[in-house]
Amino acid sequence: MKKVSLSISAFLLLICIFSGSTKAQTVEILAGNTLNGAVQGTLLGGASMALTNSDDFSALRVGIGMGTLYGVGMGAYDITTGGGQEVLVSGLFNDGNNSSIIVLLDTFYGAALGSVIVVAVTLVANERITTGLQYGAGIGAWAGFGFGIFDTFVLAERTFAPMAVSNLSQNASGLIGLNFENKSSFGFTNPTLIRTSQLTQNDINSTVSPAVEMINYRFNF
């Protein structure tokens, strides 16, 4: 009798896994965008502090809160446009598995480029380099954010499952990626969800927990 009960429970577990794959994908899209939005808000809050030359952390607090809400909105947009399916967003400079990652990476690039340009100007003007870094990164972050929004909603192309799955599977997942001749790739800081299922004699418990993969490596034969 126990063997029969265990077999039925295993069968029900398989049904739950397959039937819940779409819901899990939806949760993963929403969680990834929300985490990216929080990081985005942190960057822009810090950029605002740099531009105002302020040590008041209220801008950072507001940035994190607004960024989290922004990430939820981006997640809702990805879910509604793709029906909860896997999505590949191909921006001008980056590819990602959600919309917010394109904006986030463009913000990073803007901050780096702004720092380089303003530091170069301060060197010519014989001013303090730290001042150039401070204001250059702040201006560049906001400029990169603005371009990232334009890149995501105007320039980017979206591909939905199953094509998105095949395209994404070629590279390691992560906020920052390195590809080597399309055969091997590294991915760094990848927001993800870990789904665990526990089978008992009377019930099947399934939980989804947020996690961050620090380093991913993929080799394509």
Give Cα 35 distance to the centre of its chain: 7
Contact 211, 194 (CB under 8 A): yes
**What local confidence, expressed as pLDDT, does residue 119 receive?**
86
User: Per-residue confidence of the chain (221 residues) as pLDDT tens digits?
Assistant: 444 343 444 444 433 443 444 556 777 888 888 999 999 999 999 999 988 888 888 888 999 999 999 999 998 888 888 776 777 888 888 788 888 888 998 999 999 999 899 888 888 888 888 888 888 999 999 999 999 999 989 888 888 765 544 444 566 666 566 666 556 776 766 666 666 767 766 776 766 666 667 776 666 65
CA distance 48 to 43: 9
**What are the two backbone dihedrals, phi and then psi, of residue 59, each rounded to the nearest 5 degrees?**
-65, -40
Contact 59, 47 (CB under 8 A): no
**What local confidence, expressed as pLDDT, does residue 29 receive?**
82
Residue 19 has a CB neighbour count (10 Å cut-off) of: 9
Q: Per the structure, how many domains does the chain have?
A: 1
For residue 155, the 8-state DSSP code is I
CA distance 43 to 158: 26
Domain that holds residue 111: 2-219
Residue 98: Cβ-neighbour burial (10 angstroms; 0-12, 13-18, 19+): buried
CA distance 141 to 42: 11
Rounded to 5°, the CA angle 220-215-139 comes to 110
For residue 176, give every residue at least 6 positions away whose Cβ sits within 8 Å of its Cβ, in sequence order, or none.
105, 187, 188, 189
